[in-house]
């Protein structure tokens, strides 16, 4: 029962993240990316702070301003910045597909920087998954969009953020970490506006609705994924994060009239299949108390 609840919350979280991407892309038609980032960060930070206060917890502690939390917040801000710019320039379906490479990159980063053992099976899955990303990008084709590299940068920073989370002290809870991520988005967005020389734009009627929608789905997105990973088995719950691609592709088609081509669908299938294999392989090793090895345990 806990696994089913966890899986349901993970699907809910992914649906909310896809909707948040949709609202950001809608806003990008009228507002500069830096302003969107600053507004979303401020709204999310206030929402998280109110939630933490309601729970009797401090919205911010000294531990959040230094060490691993500060590093994670920096990666979070960089990921958010590149993601917002990517959403303003590339189709939502393309962005959603590329962002699915996150679990593969986290496994790759854990092997390269955290010395976690990764055997030939998972190395093969990672390689195949990255091939799927190349198929989606199509750098050999005239249809290649250079702006899509912003989505690639976004998923790289996102993976670095997830890896740095492993170093966060146990005294800092998940909601505090998420709140700090929102806080970091505000100066990052404002700095982006200064660097690019982009003046602020006063939102109008529909922009206020989209801002409210984006902030409104951001909070349950973060809360649901935290609860999902706590109440369910990671090996059962984590693969459901790939449901995000379904919601993202549907939003791209229904809201932005995007057409899905064969390369995108093929690349998406390869990325998801490789990621699912990696999840299942890691779950098997944990279940049996084994370590991956070059010989393939």
Confidence of residue 288 (pLDDT cuts 50, 70, 90): low
Nearest to 181 by CA among 197, 157, 151, 208: 157
Whether 295 shows a pLDDT value over 60: the answer reads no
Confidence of residue 296 (pLDDT cuts 50, 70, 90): very low
**How far apart, in whole angstroms, are the C-alpha atoms of residue 261 and residue 265?**
6
Handedness of CA 29, 35, 41, 42 (dihedral sign): negative
pLDDT in tens, 31-64: 999 999 999 999 999 998 998 899 888 887 776 7
In terms of Cβ atoms closer than 10 Å to its own Cβ (0-12, 13-18, 19+), residue 140 is exposed
Confidence of residue 139 (pLDDT cuts 50, 70, 90): confident
Q: Give the pLDDT mean for 183-187.
A: 92
> 208 vs 23, 28, 114, 239, CA distance in Å?
11, 13, 43, 34
Nearest to 10 by CA among 277, 264, 247, 250: 247
> 289 vs 6, 115, 282, 297, CA distance in Å?
23, 17, 10, 11
Nearest to 19 by CA among 219, 174, 162, 190: 219
- Of the listed ranges 9-18, 103-112, 250-259, the one predicted with least confidence: 103-112
Q: Give the pLDDT mean for 4-20.
A: 90
pLDDT in tens, 73-118: 899 899 999 999 999 999 999 999 999 998 889 888 888 887 778 7
Tokens in use for 261?
């081509």
> 41 vs 64, 157, 235, CA distance in Å?
16, 17, 31
pLDDT of 116 reads 79
User: What is the chain's mean pLDDT, rounded?
Assistant: 86
pLDDT of 290 reads 58
More confident residue, 148 or 281: 148
- Give how far the C-alpha of residue 177 lies from the chain's centroid of Cα atoms, to the nearest Å: 15
Report which listed range, 5-14, 230-239, 246-255, is most confident. 246-255
**Domain map (residue ranges) of the chain:** 2-287
In terms of Cβ atoms closer than 10 Å to its own Cβ (0-12, 13-18, 19+), residue 113 is exposed
pLDDT of 235 reads 64
More confident residue, 152 or 290: 152
pLDDT of 153 reads 95
Whether 294 shows a pLDDT value over 60: the answer reads no
**How far apart, in whole angstroms, are the C-alpha atoms of residue 110 and residue 117?**
8
Whether 240 shows a pLDDT value over 60: the answer reads yes
């Amino acid at each position: 029962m806990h696994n089913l609840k966890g899986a349901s919350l993970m699907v809910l979280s992914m649906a909310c993240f896809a909707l948040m991407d949709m609202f950001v892309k809608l806003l990008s038609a009228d507002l500069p990316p830096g302003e969107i980032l600053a507004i979303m960060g401020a709204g999310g930070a206030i929402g998280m702070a109110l939630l933490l206060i309601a729970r009797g917890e401090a919205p911010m502690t000294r531990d959040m301003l230094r060490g691993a939390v500060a590093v994670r917040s920096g990666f979070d801000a960089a990921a958010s910045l590149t993601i917002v710019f990517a959403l303003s320039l590339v189709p939502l379906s393309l962005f959603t597909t590329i962002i699915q490479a996150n679990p593969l990159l986290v496994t790759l980063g854990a092997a390269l920087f955290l010395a976690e053992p990764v055997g030939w099976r998972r190395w093969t899955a990672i390689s195949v998954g990255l091939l799927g990303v190349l198929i989606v990008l199509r750098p050999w084709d005239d249809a290649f969009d250079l702006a899509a590299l912003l989505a690639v940068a976004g998923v790289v920073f996102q993976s670095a953020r997830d890896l740095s989370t492993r170093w966060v002290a146990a005294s800092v809870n998940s909601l505090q970490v998420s709140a700090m991520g929102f806080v970091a988005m505000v100066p990052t967005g404002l700095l982006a506006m200064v660097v690019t020389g982009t003046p602020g734009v006063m939102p109008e009627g529909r922009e206020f609705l989209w801002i409210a929608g984006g902030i409104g789905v951001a909070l349950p997105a973060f809360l649901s994924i935290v609860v999902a990973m706590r109440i369910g088995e990671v090996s059962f719950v984590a693969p459901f994060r790939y449901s995000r691609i379904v919601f993202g592709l549907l939003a791209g088609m229904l809201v932005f009239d995007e057409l899905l081509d064969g390369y995108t669908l093929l690349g998406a299938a390869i990325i998801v299949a490789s990621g699912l294999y990696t999840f299942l392989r890691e779950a098997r090793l944990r279940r049996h108390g084994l370590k991956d090895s070059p010989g393939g345990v």
